[in-house]
């Protein structure tokens, strides 16, 4: 089949990313993209900049070994290939018959005279589907059996050969089907994907009108499809069901899990909070703890640039922190953090180091491994059986059903009817913090640098203050059952 050759109707390697994430998004890209403005956020821009720097570094290396020519069109690429140019930078490949266009970072001439496609990727692994499809498409257009090369972010060069062909076949076949579809494909809500999708405002009203079950926290799109097939397709219908009548489906098996899901549906419809059991918080002196780390380092090892702590009596002047200016101070920052913990251990008879999610504990474990300090006294205490670390997310997830689609710290704290704590900077977040820190790294003006540091510290102070507010909210509302009606304490069998 010869496809219409307009750019919109060509299969592009960049389609792979949206195809893996959501088929509807790919369809909308092909059929409606003119009406949608796609805004690139600060974090995505940072990734693009770092990706470009990586590509330029690979280009420089290749230029030191080979003659490299930059291509500016499909025709020019063909000419350079016919001339036997050793390395073609930013080549453009087109297979008109199949309707596929590709833009490999490099085309490297093999001793056989054929060309190998190569891309520079920040990823540490060649096993990501998106990378495999992109490189597989270049191979398909080049129509030779040479493996594609991937210059990974950790310095390794990987190769991808015929083993990726089945995945590429599926992608191409599915893309061709999407081109011919006149109606957008059916889709379910995904809390992680839809909120950051440019088509969110397009899709959300439909999900709400249909009361799609995937709008419920914990109900996967596949589960929603299976339940619809079993005759339960709306949140109202689901909330009126009993656990006994709901069939077992992937991700929704067992009586207790189904009861939780039904309460989640009731909470969604009414805004009611359900408490499954009383919450017991550990006794002691609480210090709230949150880290900021940068995954986009040159070594690709996460660097904690800020270890933030809120000590009694929890006012803004009780915020303490360990800050490092860059990755070269990584070890110093870690040691100062351990010293700070020892200081608290002596200062407070029974220390509780409260954090939200497993990230802080996992990071301490990684740092202990990184510096071969698993047997360090403070590390043994932090990670041992009598650890002072306490993850506040656990009682929330185990004992509460909240009228939320996500149970992240910001979801709970920002909600007006729940904790109702608002961050001073409305645009701040963990990715925002990474962007600010990367700006801090390259800023040379001391005044501007200081301002960036202050903004990051303010954000982290709000984070630890939020976990403190969450602690207070849990104590006030769920330890004594004073805030919510007695009926809201529901014991699951």
Half-sphere exposure of 352 (CA within 13 A, CB side): 16
- Is 299 a binder of ligand SF4 (CB under 6 A)? no
Q: Which window, 187-195, 248-256, 409-417, 451-459, contacts ligand SF4 (CB under 6 A)?
A: 187-195
Cα gap 138→99, rounded to integer Å: 13
Q: Which window, 196-204, 279-287, 434-442, 454-462, contacts ligand SF4 (CB under 6 A)?
A: 196-204
- Is 193 a binder of ligand SF4 (CB under 6 A)? yes
User: Which residues, at least 6 apart from 134, have a Cβ–Cβ distance to it below 8 Å?
Assistant: 13, 14, 16, 102, 119
Cβ closest to ligand SF4, residue 103 vs residue 199: 199
Alpha helices by DSSP H, 349-445: 359-370, 377-383, 393-399, 409-414, 430-442
Identify the three-state secondary structure at position 319. strand
Cβ closest to ligand SF4, residue 93 vs residue 215: 215
- Is 203 a binder of ligand SF4 (CB under 6 A)? yes
Cα gap 489→493, rounded to integer Å: 13
- Is 187 a binder of ligand SF4 (CB under 6 A)? yes
Cβ closest to ligand SF4, residue 215 vs residue 227: 215
Cβ closest to ligand SF4, residue 207 vs residue 484: 207
Cβ closest to ligand SF4, residue 25 vs residue 355: 25
Q: Which window, 190-198, 233-241, 445-453, 472-480, contacts ligand SF4 (CB under 6 A)?
A: 190-198
Burial class from Cβ neighbours inside 10 Å (0-12, 13-18, 19+) for residue 117 reads: buried
Identify the three-state secondary structure at position 391. strand
Residue 263: C-alpha distances to residues 246, 402, 488 (Å): 13, 9, 10
Q: Are 118 and 108 in contact (CB under 8 A)?
A: yes
- Is 200 a binder of ligand SF4 (CB under 6 A)? yes
Q: Which of 106, 199, 274, 468 binds ligand SF4 (CB under 6 A)?
A: 199
Per-position b or e across 203-218, b if 16+ CB within 10 A of its CB: bbeebeebbbbbbbbb
- Is 19 a binder of ligand SF4 (CB under 6 A)? no
> Nearest 5°: phi and psi at 24?
-65, -40
Given CA atoms 265, 271, 272, 278 in this order, what sign does their dihedral have? positive
- Is 219 a binder of ligand SF4 (CB under 6 A)? no
Q: Which window, 198-206, 271-279, 343-351, 399-407, contacts ligand SF4 (CB under 6 A)?
A: 198-206
Q: How far is the CB of 208 from ligand SF4 (least distance, A)?
A: 12
Q: How far is the CB of 395 from ligand SF4 (least distance, A)?
A: 31
- Is 178 a binder of ligand SF4 (CB under 6 A)? no
- Is 194 a binder of ligand SF4 (CB under 6 A)? yes
Q: How far is the CB of 406 from ligand SF4 (least distance, A)?
A: 14
Count the residues in the chain. Answer: 493
Q: Are 135 and 148 in contact (CB under 8 A)?
A: yes
Q: Which of 394, 451, 398, 387 is nearest to 425 (CA)?
A: 451
A 10 A CB-CB count for 200 gives: 12
List, in sequence order, every residue forming a beta bridge with 443; answer none if it has no partner. Answer: none
Half-sphere exposure of 342 (CA within 13 A, CB side): 11
Q: How far is the CB of 101 from ligand SF4 (least distance, A)?
A: 23
Q: Which of 211, 214, 207, 218 is nearest to 184 (CA)?
A: 207
- Is 197 a binder of ligand SF4 (CB under 6 A)? yes
Cβ closest to ligand SF4, residue 177 vs residue 347: 177
Q: Which of 16, 22, 262, 382 binds ligand SF4 (CB under 6 A)?
A: 22
Q: Provide the strand spans (E) within 49-198.
A: 68-70, 87-89, 93-95, 100-102, 106-109, 115-120, 148-151, 157-160
Q: How far is the CB of 214 from ligand SF4 (least distance, A)?
A: 9
Window 82-121: residues binding ligand SF4 (CB under 6 A):
none
Q: Which window, 47-55, 58-66, 194-202, 365-373, contacts ligand SF4 (CB under 6 A)?
A: 194-202
Cβ closest to ligand SF4, residue 193 vs residue 345: 193
Q: Which of 24, 121, 288, 302 binds ligand SF4 (CB under 6 A)?
A: 24
Site string for ligand SF4, 456-485 (x = CB under 6 A): ------------------------------
Cβ closest to ligand SF4, residue 153 vs residue 221: 221
Cβ closest to ligand SF4, residue 53 vs residue 196: 196
Q: How far is the CB of 206 from ligand SF4 (least distance, A)?
A: 9
Give the DSSP letter of residue 247.
Answer: P
Helices 129-142/165-180 angle, 10° precision:
90
Residue 35: C-alpha distances to residues 38, 44, 167, 204 (Å): 10, 21, 31, 17
Q: Which of 10, 16, 25, 211 binds ligand SF4 (CB under 6 A)?
A: 25
Cβ closest to ligand SF4, residue 24 vs residue 410: 24
- Is 28 a binder of ligand SF4 (CB under 6 A)? yes
Window 307-336: residues binding ligand SF4 (CB under 6 A):
none
Cβ closest to ligand SF4, residue 25 vs residue 453: 25
Q: Give the binding site for ligand SF4 (CB under 6 A).
A: 22, 24-25, 28, 187, 190, 193-194, 197, 199-200, 203
């Amino acid at each position: 089949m010869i496809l219409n050759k307009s750019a919109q109707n060509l299969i592009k390697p960049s389609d792979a990313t949206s195809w893996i994430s959501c088929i509807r998004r790919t369809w909308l890209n092909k059929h409606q993209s003119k009406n949608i403005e796609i805004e690139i956020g600060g974090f995505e821009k940072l990734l693009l900049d770092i990706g470009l720097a990586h590509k330029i570094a690979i280009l420089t290396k290749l230029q030191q070994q080979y003659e490299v020519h930059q291509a500016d069109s499909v025709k020019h690429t063909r000419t350079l290939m016919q001339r036997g140019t050793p390395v073609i930078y930013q080549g453009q490949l087109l297979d008109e018959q199949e309707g596929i266009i590709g833009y490999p970072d490099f085309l490297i001439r093999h001793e056989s005279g054929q060309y190998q496609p190569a891309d520079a990727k920040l990823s540490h692994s060649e096993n990501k589907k998106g990378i495999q499809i992109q490189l597989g498409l270049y191979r398909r257009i080049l129509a030779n059996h040479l493996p594609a090369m991937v210059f990974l972010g950790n310095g390794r060069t990987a190769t991808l050969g015929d083993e990726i062909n089945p995945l590429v076949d599926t992608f191409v076949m599915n893309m061709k089907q999407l081109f011919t579809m006149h109606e957008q494909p059916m889709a379910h809500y995904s809390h992680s994907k839809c909120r950051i999708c440019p088509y969110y405002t397009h899709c959300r009203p439909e999900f709400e009108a249909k009361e799609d079950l995937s709008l419920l926290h914990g109900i996967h799109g596949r589960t929603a499809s299976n339940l619809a097939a079993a005759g339960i397709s709306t949140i109202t219908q689901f909330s009126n069901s009993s656990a006994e009548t709901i069939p077992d489906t992937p991700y929704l098996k067992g009586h207790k899990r189904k009861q939780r899901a039904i309460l989640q549906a009731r909470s969604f419809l009414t805004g009611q909070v359900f408490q499954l059991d009383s919450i017991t918080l550990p006794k002691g002196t609480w210090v709230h703890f949150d880290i900021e780390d940068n995954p986009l380092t040159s070594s690709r090892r996460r660097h904690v640039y800020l270890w933030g702590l809120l000590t009694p009596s929890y006012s803004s002047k009780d915020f303490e922190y360990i800050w490092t200016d860059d990755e070269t101070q990584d070890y110093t920052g870690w040691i100062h953090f351990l010293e700070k913990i020892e200081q608290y251990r002596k200062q407070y008879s029974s220390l509780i180091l409260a954090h939200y999610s497993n990230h802080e504990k996992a990071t301490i474990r990684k740092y202990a491994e990184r510096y071969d300090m698993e047997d360090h006294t403070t590390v043994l205490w932090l990670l041992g059986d009598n650890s002072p670390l306490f993850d506040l997310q656990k009682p929330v997830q185990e004992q509460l059903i909240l009228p939320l689609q996500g149970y992240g710290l910001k979801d709970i704290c920002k909600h007006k009817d729940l904790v109702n704590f608002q961050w001073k900077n409305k645009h701040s977040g963990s990715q925002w913090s990474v962007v600010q820190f990367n700006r801090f790294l390259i800023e040379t003006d001391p005044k501007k640098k200081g301002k960036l540091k202050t903004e990051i510290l303010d954000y982290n102070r709000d984070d630890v203050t939020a976990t403190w507010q969450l602690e207070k909210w849990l104590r006030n509302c769920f330890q004594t059952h004073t805030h919510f009606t007695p009926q809201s304490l529901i014991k699951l069998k």
